[in-house]
Amino acid sequence: MQWRTIYRKECVESARNFKWIWVPLVFILFCIIDPLSTYYLPQILESTGGVPEGATFNIPTPPPSEVFMMSISQLNTLGLLVISLITMGTIAGERKSGVAELILVKPVSYMAYISAKWAAHVTLVVLSILIGFLASWYYTQLLFGELQFLHVLIAFFFYGLYMVFVISISIFMNTWTKIPGLVLFLTLCTLILINLFTNLLPHFLEWSPTMITSYLPTVLMNGDIAQNLWMASVMTIILTALLLMGAKIVLSKKEIT
Amino acid sequence: MIMTQDVIQTINEHIAIIAPLLIIQAILIVTALVSLIRTEVTNGPKWMWALIILFISTIGPIAYFIFGRRNDT
């Protein structure tokens, strides 16, 4: 019961902050900017000049699945930044302003508080990604050719898992400090470190959450779901659960002292 | 001059493709402005945010939503 109240309160707050409007729009923008600019590349080159007279370029048209991957890689950089930015103050800010104390003196469990906030952000972000994916799929279909909708949906499912994992990292970092900026810094550092280790030891960390993105091209191309992709997803879900539990433990220790 | 005409022509030909992009940017600007007018206090002067929202496309409204609003009060 209380869980639903906190969840609803979070959603109302997101609506008041216009998050429900701008986050989906921004994700659509991120997703469609690459298909568009790839499509118009010859015209852009022509109008900006710098191309010597008479030079002819033969820019090969990338296959649809590759264009779609461009959108995903855009989300992987700018999208991650936006997600970290919108989640950075969700608990840290409330503890700073004292709202968290107001909520937690009532008989609300820490787990309910954390998971409701987490769920509210997951709803917003996952829906935004879905809309962004649909927009990107539409443009890819329109400008570059056939891309199966089912493959896009499968890719969305796995990519959504990864994004949920990112939100969990941010929520976990939220419980450590009261400074939103530091939360952002820690979240991005964690993501960079995970990325770095995965890139350094690709054979040992085939199940790392950041590997999900690198398995997506095959999914988009022919719908094959690699064994490693399943394992990476399971790993991501386990890590997400651990992060949420860790957040609960840290927060309960912080509030007592 | 010929170049700009070319660009305008290309845009005219492909207006159906580019239109969503422009519409999204317009919605972003309008919501950011509405929110700016409604709130009482922002981080930094209001007129500065108005300029940022209006003249820096896409990034301006996003920056306002993330950094301009004071949520914790």
ipTM of the complex: 0.84
Q: CA quadruple A33, A124, B43, B48: dihedral positive or negative?
A: positive
| Confidence (pLDDT) at B16 | 83
Average pLDDT over residues A117-142: 96
Stretch among A10-24, B4-18, B25-39 having the lowest mean pLDDT: B4-18
SS3 call for A60? coil
CA distances from A243 to A101, A119, A201, B42, B44 (A): 22, 14, 23, 34, 36
Instruction: Decide if B25 and A29 are in contact by the 8 Å CB cutoff.
Output: yes
Assign A47 a pLDDT band (cuts: 50, 70, 90).
confident
| Confidence (pLDDT) at B71 | 59
Please tell me the total count of domains within chain A.
Answer: 1
| Confidence (pLDDT) at A100 | 86
Neighbours of A43 (CB within 10 A): 15
User: How far off is chain A from B7, nearest CA to CA, in Å?
Assistant: 7
Mean pLDDT, chain B, integer = 85
pLDDT of residue A207 exceeding 80: yes
Neighbours of A38 (CB within 10 A): 19
Instruction: Decide if B62 and A36 are in contact by the 8 Å CB cutoff.
Output: no
Interface test with chain A among B22, B29, B65, by most A beta carbons within 10 Å:
B65
| Confidence (pLDDT) at A107 | 83
Average pLDDT over residues A163-181: 94
pLDDT in tens, A219-232: 999 888 989 999 99
pLDDT of residue A124 exceeding 70: yes
Interface test with chain B among A12, A13, A21, by most B beta carbons within 10 Å:
A21
pLDDT of residue B73 exceeding 70: no
pLDDT of residue B72 exceeding 70: no
- On whether the CB atoms of residues A179 and A203 are closer than 8 A, the answer is no
User: Could you tell me the pTM of the whole model?
Assistant: 0.90
* Nearest-CB residue to B28 (from A25, A89, A139): A25
Q: What CA–CA distance (Å, rounded) separates B64 from A227?
A: 43
Average pLDDT over residues A91-118: 88
B31 or A43: which leads in pLDDT: B31
Q: What CA–CA distance (Å, rounded) separates A231 from B42?
A: 46
- On whether the CB atoms of residues A30 and A74 are closer than 8 A, the answer is yes
| Confidence (pLDDT) at A41 | 85
Mean pLDDT, chain A, integer = 91
pLDDT of residue A20 exceeding 60: yes
Assign A204 a pLDDT band (cuts: 50, 70, 90).
confident
* B32 neighbourhood in chain A, CB within 8 Å: 18, 22
Average pLDDT over residues A44-66: 78
Neighbours of B50 (CB within 10 A): 17
How much of chain A, in percent, has pLDDT values that exceed 90?
71
* Nearest-CB residue to B31 (from A18, A39, A85): A18
pLDDT of residue A148 exceeding 50: yes
A41 touches chain B (CB under 8 A): no
What is the end-to-end Cα distance of chain B in Å, rounded? 52
User: How far off is chain B from A90, nearest CA to CA, in Å?
Assistant: 10
Assign A257 a pLDDT band (cuts: 50, 70, 90).
low
How much of chain B, in percent, has pLDDT values that exceed 70?
92
Stretch among A5-19, A30-44, A77-91, A94-108 having the lowest mean pLDDT: A94-108
Stretch among A95-109, A160-174, A183-197 having the lowest mean pLDDT: A95-109
For residue A51, give its domain range: 2-256
pLDDT in tens, A79-89: 999 999 999 98
* A29 neighbourhood in chain B, CB within 8 Å: 21, 24-25, 58
Q: Angle A149-174/A64-74 helices, nearest 10 degrees?
A: 10
